[in-house]
Every structure is written in C-alpha cells, then in structure tokens.
Structure 1
Amino acid sequence: MLASSLRSGMRRRLLSTLPNTSSVRSGHELDLSKISPLLQSLSIPSDVTVSQFKHGQSNPTYVLSSPSTCHVLRKKPSGKLLRGAHAVDREARIMKALKPTAVPVPNVVHYEPDAGLLGTEFYIYEYVEADFHKSCALPNVASAGLRSEIYDNVAAVAAELHNVDFEAAGLGDFGKPQGYLARQTKVWTAQYDAAKEAFKAAGADVENPGMDYLREWLPQALPDLECPEMTTIVHGDIRIDNMLFDENSSSVAAVVDWELSTLGHPGADLALLCSPYHTPSSMPILGGLKDLNVGELGIPDEHTFVGKYVDATGSTSLSHDLDFHLAFASFRMGSILAGVYARSIAGNASSADAQQAGKLSSFLSGMGVEHAKTYEKSPGRLNKLGGAGAALGGARAFSSSARASAPRDAAATRDQVEAFLNEHVLPVETAVLNQGYFGTKEEAWKESVLLDPLKEKAKELGLWNLFLPAVSGMSNVEYGKCAEVMGRSLIGSEVFNCQAPDTGNMEVLHMFGTPEQQAEYLTPLMNQEIRSAFAMTEPFVASSDATNMEATITVDGDELVLDGRKWWTSNGCHPDLKFFIFMGRDADCEDQPPHRRHSMVLVPRDAVGVDVMRPLTVFGYEDAPHGHAEINFDKVRVPASAVVGNIGDGFSIAQARLGPGRIHHCMRLIGMAERSLELAIKRGDEREAFGKKLSEFQSNTTFFAKSRIDIDSCRLMVLNAAQKIDEGGAKNARQEIAMIKVMVPAMAKRVVDGSMQIFGGAGLSQDTPLAHFYAWARVLELADGPSEVHLDGIAKQELRMQRKKRE
C-alpha cells in the first residue's frame, strides 16, 4: 500500500515512534530552511519532524513527518565517494519509471540535482505505511500461512521486475545490454585484490583460499550465461529487508533501496533471494534459514521458492544456473567484507563491527566454492522437471518446452512440414541436385530456379525460420521433430530457411548481435536475401582442440585487423554470400584464460584481403552452390563495432551456437536414416534374387530390425538432449549433446550403408540420395568436434560422477 497521506488513527504514533527510525545522527543534520520553498511546492508543511532510518542505509535517509503528511528524503552522503556509487539520481529515475508497472515502488515526488541546497543531491518520495522485516525468518509474522504467502509474493515481485520491458519503460540506456556478470566479476575481483594489498601493507597474514579459488573459477564459468535475451532490470540488492509489506496482508507494498539497480542478469537477483537458504540463522549480519525447519515456519524450501519464480517468468535456465549465481553472490559479498576487514586492520573501518564482519569473508567464500563445485557436478539441481535421471521416464513426454504457452500447434506444424516436403520438395529433389552434379560450372554455382516458388509457398504457410524459438515459438524438442522431416531430403532444410550454417549464424546474431548488426545482417538472413558463413576451422592446426586456433584479431585504434587461414567454411562459395563470422585469437590477450582469448567478428565478403581460394570436395561432391571453402584472411580491416558480443566472448558464443545446432544436425540425420530404411524396404519388396524377394532374406530382415532399433533409440536420445536444453540451456545438456554427437552419425552411417548394399550399384549412384546421405553422416562424425573428443568428455564426466558416489 502506497500512501501519500496517513490514516488519521496512525498520525500520532507516526510523529513519535516511526518504526526503524531514530533521531538524526550527529553529522547527518538537515537544514530544511534551505529547501522551504521546495517543500511548500510539494505541499509538505514547514513544521515537519525529521527522523532518520537506522537499518542498512548507505545513503542517508530521513522521514519528514507531520500530522497530515509523511515523506522520505534520501540523499548522497557527504565527502569523497567511489565513482558511480550512491547514485540517487538513478534511484529516483528507476522508481519513477517503474511506478506505472506492476512492480510496487514508492511514489517519487521530486529529484533535486542541486547539491548546494543540502550539501549533496537528493530526492523525495511518499512514505509507505507498511511492515518491515529485518530477519528473513519473519519471527514477527503471526502464522506459518502468512509467512508462506509473503515468500510467494516476494518471488512474484522479483518476477514482475524481471518481466518489465525496460525499453518500453524508458530504461533502455539504464545499463549495457549484456556482459553484466563479466563486468561485475572484474569489479569485485579488483576490490578483493585491493583488500589483499591492504592486508600486505598492514603486515597482516590473511589467507582466504576460497576467494582465490572463486576469482579464477568465475570468469571461466561464465560462457552460456549471458545474452541479450537474459538482460532485465536488476535490483542489485534485492532482499526481504529491502521490501516493505502491507500491514493488513502479505503483499509487498514497496521495494526500496535501488542504489545498485541497472540492466543485468536476473540470476544475480534470484541468487540474493536464495542466499539465506545457505547461511545459518545465528550468523552475524548474514543470518539465514539453513539451520531452521522452514516447513514448520511456513517458509517454502529453496526448490519450491525457485519454482514459484520460474512459474512467473518461464526462465528455467535461471534455476539451472542458480549455483553459478550463488557462487557469484558469495564472491561479491566476500569481496565487500574483505574490504571491510582490510579497513578495520588499517584502523579506519566504518563501524565497530567491521573486524567481525570482515572475517565472514572466509565463510562466504567457502560457501561460494561449494556452490561452484555443485554447479560443475550437479547442474540443474533446482530444475522443476528434474535431471537426467528422469530423462526417459513415462512422465516425460518430449512435448513442450517450459514456455508458458505455445503460439502454434507444434504437432500440426510438423505435419504441415511433412506434407509440404512430400508434395512439393521430393518431386524436384533430383532435378535440383543434378544441376549441382552435372550442370555447367556457371549453372552449378547458382541456386536452382525450382526452389524459389517453394520458398515463397513455405513463407505463405508460416513454415519459415522454424528453428528460431523467438520467431516460431517452438521449443528445441518441437523443432527437432520438424528437423527430422526436413532431413529426409538433401534440399529439405533449404526450402524452409532452416539450413546450416545460416541457422547458427542467425542464432548468434539474434542472441548477441547489436541492433545495427541485426539490421544489416540478421533481417536479410531471415528473409534469405543473403547467405552467411562461419569461419572457425583451420588447416594448419588440430582443430579438434579449438584453443589451437592461430588466426588472430589485432586491435588497431578503432579498427580490428584479421589474419589467418580458414577452411571447411560452409557457404563460403555461395553466390549470395555477404558476410563471414570469423573466430580468431585476440593478439593481446595471452594473459587471459585459454577460453577467454577468442572473439567473433563480422566480416563482409567483399572486404579487402578476403580471398576465397577454393571449394573443398566431400567424397568428390563440391556441394555447389554452397561449397566448403578454404579462405585466406590477409590483414583484413573491419571496424571495432564488428565484434559480436564482447572481446573474449568467442567460446561462450560458440557453445551457445553449437548446442541447438547439434540437435538440428542429429535430427536431420535421423530423417536421412528413416528415408534410407524406407527406400531399402521398398527396394527389397520390388527385387528378387535366387527365387525370393530381397526383403525376405534373413540378413536383410535382421538389418531392417536392427535399423528400427537404432533409429528409434537415437531419436529418443536426441529428444532427451533437446528437452534438457529447453529446461536449462545448452550447458545443462553438455553430456547428452556429446552422446548424441557420437551415437547418431554412427547409426546413420550403418543404416545408409546397409541400404546401399540392398540397392547394389544403384545405391552408389546419383539415382538415389543414399551416397550423399552417407557422405553427410561421415562428415558429421568430424563436424562440431570429432567423436573421439566427445567420447573423452563423456568418459571424464562419468568418472567424476562415479567417484563422487564413492565419496
């Protein structure tokens, strides 16, 4: 409840005993006579009583109360301040911007930038008559039922905040659109390092192995967590003691203390709300819930609380990554307290409890290390739909993602794709492929005119860009079933604008591209007006270990200089190719961890220094008009604005790109295997040898049976991996993705090879798609990482899991 005036029955109490206030502290006095005209213009009487809030205020905060009105004045502290700290102007701005939304905030009536009036800038908002709870255990709440409702409402308010369209609220420039966690990690690492230097200067032998562990671990654990879609308004210090509750109900009356608010990653806020589940109630300053029977208190457990938040936002990836965010929150607070401790040793701490508070840094960092290890060993422990153990259970139907609702009937869409493929695509498949196989050089390297009308028809039917959830509304599971159908034809994906490598590049631009990059490249790609290529693999190093990459990116003023040789760059010879996504090693980042040294850069096809040297053949196929090119980048210059994401984000972006892409590849291979088996059985029913049908020979019936087992097993494995991505992102499904990457190409090779055997010589020719299917299956045992690399990773994870069981 937000009140501009107080109920008459409460006025006398407020004048003398406003909760959580005291008389104004020495050195914090206000000379209200200097702002008398301002107060008058705001209808605030000149005879107000001034008190000061006691709890948790880094910015001095006062209550101006009278028999008829009550307001809060919040100002910057005096003296030398850290750059960017105590930004009351940002507090006032965000509270004003959120007032029309569902997020409860006090009503700001004035912001005053003139520091000459009260010594520093300030703002005034209407006092909220509400209850305040210092302890997250809510000891002053009358019943377990009310405590449960309060926590439900806290989760709901956090979700409302993170669901706010910050652009529509006028807060598009309130922070950077991505990179929040990376920036914050650097900030708090620097603060911790400064504290360590202060310890050394004071001759204090202070060791904190937990903080040292986290400062190295956090930057390397960042990949896959940040992208524009995960940018929201974040409060930065959201806790129960920064909320006010309606005194007649359990609803949140107002969220206050917006000093650290910005645009950032919502996981940082969710972790702060969950931190009390991991600290004991007796811990000074950090008192939590860990040693309490939350069930008896009526407080939901952590899993239930997170589930309430996920229900309200649909952001299952946050529950999956929560232990990372808890580790980050522990490091952040540990760094703050290390600084407090350093000041206490130096003798200039800001409170008598500084030394005790500072020593809590070791406890917090130890807790953070545990969260880090949990995140590595058991990611997704708070996922609502469970982990891999439930993967193939009867309750798991591989139906929809965690979206609140689907904008299309996914099953009907899959049926539409299949009908379109059978009616329009398969009848022209041979003619289109033969143009590439046998046409003149000029004809081979042009798109077939037979495809254009099919693409227009697919667009009209809404069967276009189905791979991109933000466009189609389909989950990875749902699109995977469509990808299988498309994979039945070598030209199937092309007709629906779902062909690699454009799909992966569109995903990268959609997730990480700036508005300018999206306008120049993403929009025309989604209309298939242009084509793109992904330049990563290199000829002179073992590309199975991408950290071997030799191609370099050098910063030269406001330009980047790219040098290096790339190959197997699909689409590299396409006549409509307009740009590459070039991945290279940052020349000046050798001091960075191996997976923070690489970046992705957008390079126009016609940039000076780009030399498409030749197409590479695959078992003799040139794959015209797309081609897999070898390309030399010789001192190619592009503007610094061509970087995708940030410098050093290359590996994290690559993993975000490859997760769904591997699902698409594997489902298309399953479609190829299905069609191969159908063709083989049809051939077997039509041909006779030695007095009986080929389909009646035991060797062939055994092949048919084993193929059915193989195909269906792989389909379930791939859909399981897709479901895990839908629940918690690609990082959540690393093991499952690795397994399908090994299993599916090998299966497809077996099925296609056996089908070619039944066809005899015809199976090796252009009269069937089998030879080309086989080539693609073999390619995908190498593409996106050779099977041996994935097998090694699977084994390491299995060893870790089994050894953990024995501990």
Structure 2
Amino acid sequence: MAWDFATEPEFQEHLDWMRALVRDEVWPIETVFDDLGYDGFKRAIAPLQDRVKERGLWAAHLPPDLGGQGYGQVKLGLMHEILGTSPLAPAVFGNAAPDSGNSEILALAGSNDQKDRYLHPLLAGDLRSAFSMTEPETAGSDPTLLQTRAVKDGDDWVINGHKWFSTNGSIADFLIVMAVTDPDARPHQRASMFIVDADTPGVHVVRDVATMEHPGESFGHYGNHAEIRYEDVRVPADALLGGEGEGFLIAQHRLGPGRIHHAMRWLGVSRRAFDALCERAVSRHAFGSVLADKQSIQNFVADSAAEMHAARLMTLHAAWKMDNEGASAARTEISMIKFYGARVLHDVIDRAIQVHGALGYSTDLPLEAMYRYARAARLYDGADEVHRQSVARRVLRGYEPTDVPSEHVPTRREAARERFADLLEAVTSND
C-alpha cells in the first residue's frame, strides 16, 4: 500500500491560522499565567476559545456527532504539533489533557445518559475530569498489577484503593477510576472503569504530588497530580463505563492516539527550543565570531534538525498507519515514536540551554521549564524501557533461529566456493 500524508490546501489554511493564533495570542499569556490564576486564565482565553469554535476546530479529536471534525490521526497530529509549542494552547482548542482523553473514552464507551451527564458538560467547559489509574504500590508501566478493587454489593459497586498522579484529581468534578472487578480473570480482563463524582463519600484527596515539573505542591488549578484514597466509595451500577472487564480495552483506545498526540506535541516543543537555539547561535558573539561559526554549535544544529525530522516522519507514518490499518497494526510504530520522540525532545532542549548558557538555565526563558517537562516524557504512557522491549519482541518474531549441526559447518567462503566451483574452474582455466 502506498502511503503519504500530504496536507490539503484547505486544512493547511487551518494549520496556518492555528500557528498564528498560538504564537501571537497564547504565548504571551505564559508570562503572566502565575499572576492570572486559573480563573483569570479562563477569562483570558474565553475570547480565543470563541474564535476556535467559530473556525470549527474546537475538540477536533471527537467524531462529528459530538461537535468534532472526525479528523484522522495524521491531521490531529499536525494540529498537536502546533499546540505543543505552549502548555496553554490545548485548553484554547478544547483538547487539554486529561479532559480530551476522558472525552474520547466517554464518546467511545459511555451510555447516552453518561454522555448527557458528563461528556456534553465536559466539552462545554462546565465540568472538569480526572483519570485515576496509576497506583503508588504497583508498577505504573504494568497496569495488570492494579490493586484497587470494585466489589458488587446489591445494585451498587463499592470501590477501595489508593491512586496517585490522577491529573486534575483535586479539582475535578468527576473521576474515571480503573479498578479490578474480577481478580481471577485473565490479566487484561480483570479491570473495569467507573465514573465517580468527586463529592462521593469516601473520595479523599490526600495531596497534590509535587514533581520536577511543578516542584511546589500548591501550584494552582492547572496540571496538578493528585494522590487519592478511595475508601468504601459506593457508586450505582450505571457508573460502570462500558462493560465489566473492558477497562484495558477502553484504555487502549485512549492510549494509541494519545501517544501520537504526545509525540507531535513534543515536536512542537522541540521546534520552539530549536528556533531559540538557532536565533541565539546567529546573534551571540564569543571568541571572535558568532556562535554559529563554531563547529560544536553547528553539530548541535545539524543533529537537532535531523533528529526532529526523523521523529516527525516516524510519528506521521504511525498516525497514517493507524488511520489506514487500525491501532493494533500500528503498535510497533507507536512504541517507537514514544521512546525515540522523548529522547529527541530532551536532547534538543538540552542543546538549546547549553547554547544560551546562564540565560537558558534561568527562568527568563521557557527553556528550563521545557527541560523539566521533557524528563517526564520518558515515564508517562509507559516507561521507555517497556516500549523498547515491546518493539524488540515484535521485530524478533519475524526471525527464525538458525540450526547449527554438531558437525563442521562450512564457512561462508567455503560454501560460496562450493556453489560456484564450476565457474571458478572455468575462470581459472582461462587465466
């Protein structure tokens, strides 16, 4: 099958419009975000959100019947490359995590009542959500080890467990909780998903976990990672999202596209850092010439350009394969872009900081914040080592072991001479 990801002129106009809006209207908000607070930020972006909706680009990841455009992963990837240049841009376009992923889950597996109660208000910005799966006691890269339990009690389910890194958990109106409903089932059929209202008795938010990206625990209402204890949390039967035992299946529908969007957003961050690197290189003088004349800096530029180009092609190809052959067919490509893209993101930002010296290390530029953000890329959505292992296993399935008999095995040269003995004899005789 031939493959390409050419962009139609009409869609390219959308991308150009997005790029200008994000650069001219969203980037400046970054410098005053801490002063605005979350409520001020919402007021600041409300006019921008209206413009996005008028353009028809709001929540574009959703199917048309829910107000999205039904775009495939290639187009969504190109959009996320632009949105990735600012941590604030996704909120302007109605696809900020985790609400964007949760809206996809609700669109895929939610009942009509669940969509009315949660999805539509979520898309309208009237509700906020959290995805509560990761646990401090189990390996995050192996969700088959989850310990949180949901037990049937009459017509209700009772949930008990301990979660953390539930993004938005401390400010969410509702949480999507992954819990084991059948511990004796096959590993990927043990867990189910539940919608839990945040004010349900027994939902205890312990704290917002401080991280390298957000060192202070109290960093406002944007991007927190909550630790939560669920203690005898009772929810009705209709809180079950999808069917019993379908938690992993539903999560995979969320994670495949999500990893493509991550990788494309990383390219957006990388490009912004790369532009800063190049501008600095042609502007800063040291030891008799601009930095751009130094071989080490030229290597930084060349390596960064090549790595970003490779990562972009890999990601768009993974997106194209998902569009044309489905998520399962693109599993290897998605795993590759996850660990390769994370490394490119880190390395490009690191070089940009090095070229800027003390300025790059300071908070006067966004590079240091990008650097802290980049470190997490090697962890979330599965540690890089897990994705490398997954790629290697799938690649090696295409190879058969070579039988090595106990007797003497001819060398390649001996085998070749035996095969072409007649020809060699003829050539020798002619000589």
| TM-score, scaled relative to structure 1 | 0.48
Letter aligned with residue 635 of structure 1: D
Residues 399-548 of structure 1 mapped to structure 2, 5 A cutoff = 399=6, 409-432=10-33, 434-435=34-35, 443=37, 447-470=41-64, 471-548=68-145
- The higher relative CO (CA closer than 8 Å, separation ≥ 6) is in 2
Instruction: Give the aligned CA root-mean-square deviation in angstroms.
Output: 2.0
Change in Cα spacing, 1:536 to 1:804, as seen in structure 2 (3 Å) is farther
Aligned match of 1:270 = none
In the alignment, structure 1 residue 595 sits paired with structure 2 residue 202: no
Change in Cα spacing, 1:778 to 1:757, as seen in structure 2 (3 Å) is same
1:305-348 residue CA offsets vs partner (Å, 9 max, x unmatched): xxxxxxxxxxxxxxxxxxxxxxxxxxxxxxxxxxxxxxxxxxxx
- The alignment partner of 2:364 has SS state of coil
Distance in 2 (alpha carbons) for counterparts of 1:639 and 1:478: 39
Give the conservation status (yes or no) of the 8 Å contact 1:399–1:477.
no
Shift of 1:460: 2.2
- The alignment partner of 2:227 has SS state of strand
- The alignment partner of 1:560 has SS state of strand
- The unaligned stretches of length 5 or more in structure 2 are 404-431
Residues 245-394 of structure 1 mapped to structure 2, 5 A cutoff = 386=1
Change in Cα spacing, 1:766 to 1:796, as seen in structure 2 (3 Å) is same
Give the conservation status (yes or no) of the 8 Å contact 2:353–2:368.
yes
Change in Cα spacing, 1:616 to 1:658, as seen in structure 2 (3 Å) is same
Shift of 1:652: 0.4
Give the conservation status (yes or no) of the 8 Å contact 2:277–2:355.
yes
Distance in 1 (alpha carbons) for counterparts of 2:107 and 2:124: 14
Give the conservation status (yes or no) of the 8 Å contact 1:417–1:463.
no
- The unaligned stretches of length 5 or more in structure 1 are 1-385, 387-394, 401-405
Q: 1:570 aligns with which of 154, 163, 167?
A: 167
Detail structure 1 runs of 4+ shifted over 6 Å in the superposition. none
- The alignment partner of 2:357 has SS state of helix
1:132-167 residue CA offsets vs partner (Å, 9 max, x unmatched): xxxxxxxxxxxxxxxxxxxxxxxxxxxxxxxxxxxx
Aligned residues: 396
Distance in 1 (alpha carbons) for counterparts of 2:386 and 2:258: 17
| TM-score, scaled relative to structure 2 | 0.88
1:642-694 residue CA offsets vs partner (Å, 9 max, x unmatched): 11110100010011110100111110000000010001111222222222212
Aligned match of 2:237 = 640
Letter aligned with residue 47 of structure 2: P
Aligned match of 2:359 = 762
Query: Which structure has more helix as a fraction of its residues?
Result: 2
In the alignment, structure 1 residue 685 sits paired with structure 2 residue 278: no
- The alignment partner of 2:173 has SS state of strand
Shift of 1:524: 1.3
- The alignment partner of 1:573 has SS state of coil
Aligned match of 1:747 = 344
Shift of 1:797: 0.7
Give the conservation status (yes or no) of the 8 Å contact 2:102–2:131.
yes
Give the conservation status (yes or no) of the 8 Å contact 1:618–1:775.
no
Letter aligned with residue 594 of structure 1: P
Letter aligned with residue 598 of structure 1: A
Give the conservation status (yes or no) of the 8 Å contact 1:501–1:533.
yes
Aligned match of 2:372 = 775
- The alignment partner of 2:321 has SS state of helix
Shift of 1:773: 1.6
Shift of 1:447: 4.1
Distance in 2 (alpha carbons) for counterparts of 1:750 and 1:591: 44
Aligned match of 1:396 = 3
Change in Cα spacing, 1:610 to 1:732, as seen in structure 2 (3 Å) is same
Shift of 1:469: 4.3
Change in Cα spacing, 1:513 to 1:771, as seen in structure 2 (3 Å) is same
Q: 1:695 aligns with which of 269, 282, 292?
A: 292
Shift of 1:448: 4.9
Give the conservation status (yes or no) of the 8 Å contact 2:61–2:70.
no
In the alignment, structure 1 residue 604 sits paired with structure 2 residue 197: yes
Letter aligned with residue 10 of structure 2: D
1:687-733 residue CA offsets vs partner (Å, 9 max, x unmatched): 22222212222111110111000001000100111111111221121
- The alignment partner of 2:378 has SS state of coil
Distance in 1 (alpha carbons) for counterparts of 2:149 and 2:402: 43
Give the conservation status (yes or no) of the 8 Å contact 1:501–1:570.
yes
Mark the structure with the bigger radius of gyration. 1
In the alignment, structure 1 residue 619 sits paired with structure 2 residue 232: no
Percent identical across equivalent pairs? 39
- The alignment partner of 2:399 has SS state of helix
